[in-house]
Amino acid sequence: MTTSTAGKPRLGATGAMGTVIKVSSVTKRYGPVVAVDRVDVSVAAGEIYALLGLNGAGKTTLIRMLLGMVRPTEGQVSLWGTPVSARQRAVWARVGYLVETPAAYPELSVRENLRLVARLRHLPDSAPVDEVIDRLGLREYAHRRARTLSLGNAQRLGLAKALLHRPPLLILDEPANGLDPAGVVEIRDLLLGLAEAGTTVFVSSHVLAEVARLATRIGIIHNGRLVRQLDTDDLAGWARPSLRVSTRDLASATDVLRRAGFHPTADGDGLTLPDEQAVAAPDEVATVLVAAGCPPTHLTVAREDLETYFLRTVGGLDGGNG
Ligand code: ATP
C-alpha cells in the first residue's frame, strides 16, 4: 500500500459543501441504562469526525443509530437530510461502514468475499476488487480463507468491504482495532487520502493520540453524553499549560508558594503550578523561591499530554463540575 502524505482536510462544521450527518437530540435507553443521552452532532462533507470515549461511553450505540441498526428512543438521525431508516436504499448505496468485529464468510477467500459483496451491492463486474485489495495491503492474503485471517487482516477485509462501492460517507467503529502500529498508520493515511478526495469520515475510537492525528473534529462522549466538541487544530490551545518546578526542599517550596498565592501540587520530584500567573511569569516564581531560601533547580512550562487532557475532561465531569 502506498503511503499518503495527505494533510487533514480543512473544513469547518458548516463547511461549504453542506451537512452530511445530522444527529438531533438523540437518546437511546436500554431499560434503566441511558446508552446515548440527548446527543447533537453535525458533520459537514469532507470532514473527519472522531467520536472519542472510554469503554461503554456510547460510541457503538450512536454509530448503530447512524446506520439505522438501532432505533433511537428519542430524537432523529439524518444523512444528507434524509431521516435514517433501514429502507432508504438510495442512502445506503452512499455509505460504507464497519461496526465492531467485521463478519465475513469464513470459508470464502478474501477476494471471493469482496466479489460477493460487489454482487450483493449490484456493482458492475468492473468493481474495483483488486484495487481495494491493494489499498488495504491484502494482496498476499487475497487467496486466504477469511477464517484464517488475523484480527488485523480481518479488520482490513472489513474496511475493504466498506470501501468497495466508493461511498462518499464512511462510518467506522474503531477502525484501528486489532491493527499493529504500522497498520494503524496505513489506515490513517488511507482515510486522510480519502477525505482529501472528498469522502466524509465518521470514526469512533478510545485512543486520543490516534484521533488527534486523524480527525478534523473530535466529539468526546462520556456516559452517553457528548461532553465536548473541539477542532483538533485547537487541541493544543485546550490542553492546559502549567509550570513545573524542581527544588531541593519540596515541602518548604510548597509552603512558600502557597503563601504567595499559587496552587502547587507536589508529585515525585517536583511541583506543578497550574496558575496562569506562574505560566506567564516563571521568573516571579523563581524570585519568590530564591527570596525564601529554596531556589529552583529547574523551571519548565509544560503542556499536559492529550491523554491527560482527555481524562481530565471526563474525570472533571465525573466530579460534577463539568
Ligand atoms: P466500547 O468501547 O466498550 O465498545 P462504547 O462506547 O461503544 O463502548 P456502547 O457499546 O455504545 O459503548 O454501550 C453504551 C452503554 O449501553 C453501555 O453501558 C452498555 O452496557 C449499554 N448497552 C449497549 N447495548 C446494549 C443493549 N443491547 N442492551 C443493554 N445495554 C446496552
Residues of the chain with CATH 3.30.70.270: 241-303
Residues of the chain with CATH 3.40.50.300: 19-236
Closest atom of ligand 1 to CA, residue 63: 11
Q: Which residues line ligand 1 (CB under 6 A)?
A: 30, 33, 35, 53, 55-61, 206
Dist. CA 232–CA 217, nearest whole Å: 5
H-state helical runs in 103-227: 110-120, 129-135, 151-163, 181-196, 208-214
Mutate to test the pocket of ligand 1, among 23, 27, 33 (most ligand atoms within 8 A of CB): 33
What pLDDT score does 15 carry? 41
316: cell is 472533571
Indicate yes or no: pTM above 0.75: yes
What pLDDT score does 6 carry? 46
What pLDDT score does 212 carry? 86
What pLDDT score does 309 carry? 75
Can you list the residues of the chain whose pLDDT is less than 50?
A: 1-6, 10-16, 319-322
What pLDDT score does 5 carry? 41
Give the CATH number of domain 19-236; options: 1.10.10.10, 3.40.50.300, 1.20.1280.260, 3.40.190.10.
3.40.50.300
What angle (nearest 5°) sits at the alpha carbon of residue 269, between those of residues 264 and 274? 25
What pLDDT score does 169 carry? 97
Distance in Å, CA 102 to ligand 1 centroid: 17
Please state the length of the chain. Answer: 322
Closest residue by Cα to atom 28, ligand 1, is: 30
Distance in Å, CA 223 to ligand 1 centroid: 10
Q: Under CATH, to which class is 241-303 assigned? A: alpha beta
Distance in Å, CA 61 to ligand 1 centroid: 6
Mutate to test the pocket of ligand 1, among 23, 37, 51, 60 (most ligand atoms within 8 A of CB): 60
What pLDDT score does 232 carry? 85
Dist. CA 171–CA 66, nearest whole Å: 8
148: left (phi over 0), alpha (psi -120 to 50) or beta: alpha
